[in-house]
Amino acid sequence: MDTDTDTRNTFDKDRDKEGWQDAQDAHDAQRVYDVPVLDEKATLPTGTFDPVYEAKARVLNRAIQDIGMGWYQWQLFVVVGFGWAADNMWPIVTSLILPPVALEFNVSRPPLLTLAQNIGLLVGAMFWGFGCDLFGRKWGFNLTLGITAVFGMISASSPTFAAVGTFAALWSFGVGGNLPVDSAVFLEFLPANKQWLLSVLSVGWAFAQVLAAGVAWPLIGTMTCSKGEPCTRKANMGWRYFVITMGAVALLMFVCRFFFFTIYESPKYLMGKGRDEDAVRVVQEVARRNGTTSSLTIDDLKACEPAGYEAQTDARAALKRKLESLDGKHVRQLFKTPKLAFSTTLLIVIWAFIGLAYPLYNAFLPYIQENNSRLKADMANQGDTTYTTYRNMLIIASLGVPGAIIGGLLTETRAGRRGVLGLATALVGVFLFASTTATTVNTLLAWNCMYNFFSSVMYAVLYAYTPELFPTASRGTGNALTASANRIFGVMAPIIGMFADLSTPVPVYVSGALFIVAGCLVFILPYESRGTAAL
């Protein structure tokens, strides 16, 4: 029996499992578009989802692959990078302003500011993540940065600590939606052989860290009250100038997205909503923007439907689909088979552990350094402790740039996404443990540089690997579940920080252990997405 016959039989069996009687039409649809049914290796196995959806997804994958990586995708790479940058920049903003804000308002529990931020991130991740599977990617893609910019700049006028916390929660509501929405948008326009670029996007994440630390060093490092002295608003303007500057950066990103770039709705999202004509129209428009053409037609998608299948497009059917979208189908689809359920659950747990470990250490790094007696004494010998703290933050941040680039490149090696992610995550924990041995500022700086390098590798792979393991129809929901778990556990970090002794290494030990456990869990994930096409 020849290969094509084998393929046909395999596809027929998968269709029969779902109750479809005429799988031959879907097979013919692939032949019309000159695509063998199983000519591409999908990340998730055939038969995991609705067979019509799978067949159409393969047709659209080939259409995008034929168009190639062109002008539209490279523009999208840049503007999606803004979302990656904002996701890292604003939590760092909160950690950098924490010491001066606590001084100015004489706050007894400074971690409450981080708590407010993480609550905003949680609500944002849930709202925008789940929402983008219901009302589309475009609204979230354009609004998240605008919300962040507005409330970030307004926060500079805060008269009280409660006001700062409120604005931090509001800007974080926008920030929380960036990764769930942006990763879905970018992945769904990428040719299968270019999906590794999703990990390279973390370069923007790393540059944002450098930018935030670079701006904070001269502003907060020189215009902040000295500890132990009366602190007035006039003597402590550095953090206010800092949030205005960061808000202006976010506003510039929003303007570039909204006024200078046209974002199209994902073709696979449109197809999943029964809007095949719109999906074909978007593919043709992307091809035009890239200076090429696509042979995709509506007939190629309609041919994937079995005999007797009728797609309802009237107003009543549209309303019905809207109501059905609220019935939890997107969540159930992520747990449809035991293997897929195991994968989804494990991803949620990994994101949760990292969500607690990362802010538990990183968000309180300036505060820990200010309250560690040995490090404080060594800083005093070097001069201005605040200036040294923020200078070192910039040096540490700079290691994130090569980390993100190297992480992106390593995903295409034989180690794959799973191997690189597992090893990098475990090494983050190892270097955190090593940092507890530091007795001087320079020694701590060296350990933290290694920590930040490997955490950048980790995030570069994590942000690319996760959305590849979800289908388009539920990708926003899957991203929302993992991001929400990350943010829920992130909320726990400042609560722990309020009661932990930050002059001891206990928070570091907990953080390091969580990273190591998360790294071990990565190795038992059932799917490897290197060399496969996301459905």
User: Using one digit for the tens of pLDDT, what is the confidence trace for 327-381?
Assistant: 566 677 778 788 888 988 999 999 999 988 887 776 566 556 666 666 666 666 6
Rounded to an integer, the average pLDDT of 416-421 is: 88
Confidence (pLDDT) at 368: 60
Confidence (pLDDT) at 369: 60
Confidence (pLDDT) at 158: 92
Whether 217 contacts 486, CB under 8 Å: no
Share above pLDDT 90 across residues of the chain, in percent, rounded to a whole number: 20
CA–CA distance, 20 with 11 (Å, rounded to integer):
11
Output the CA torsion 43→49→53→57 (10° steps): 0
Confidence (pLDDT) at 24: 39
Confidence (pLDDT) at 99: 85
CA–CA distance, 271 with 52 (Å, rounded to integer):
10
pLDDT category, 149, cuts 50, 70, 90?
very high
What is the residue-averaged pLDDT of the chain?
78
Confidence (pLDDT) at 13: 40
Share above pLDDT 70 across residues of the chain, in percent, rounded to a whole number: 78
Confidence (pLDDT) at 503: 61
Confidence (pLDDT) at 367: 58
Structure tokens that stand for 393 in this block: 């933050």
Confidence (pLDDT) at 477: 78
- DSSP lists the bridge partners of residue 42 as 533
Confidence (pLDDT) at 422: 93
Structure tokens that stand for 28 in this block: 């013919």
Residue type, position 348, single letter: I
3-state secondary structure 432-484: HHHHCCCCCHHHHHHHHHHHHHHHHHHHHHHHHHHHHCCCHHHHHHHHHHHHH
- Least confident stretch, 164-173, 356-365, 447-456, 498-507: 498-507
pLDDT category, 234, cuts 50, 70, 90?
confident
Confidence (pLDDT) at 250: 93
3-state secondary structure 344-379: HHHHHHHHHHHHHHHHHHHCCHHHHHHHCHHHHHHH
CATH architecture of 71-263+333-522: Up-down Bundle (1.20)
Per residue in 31-67, pLDDT (tens digit) is 333 333 334 555 555 555 567 777 888 888 888 888 8
Confidence (pLDDT) at 150: 94
Rounded to an integer, the average pLDDT of 224-239 is: 83
Q: Where are the domains of the chain?
A: 71-263+333-522
Confidence (pLDDT) at 20: 36
Output the CA torsion 269→275→281→287 (10° steps): 30
Return the residue matching tokens 């992480």. 407
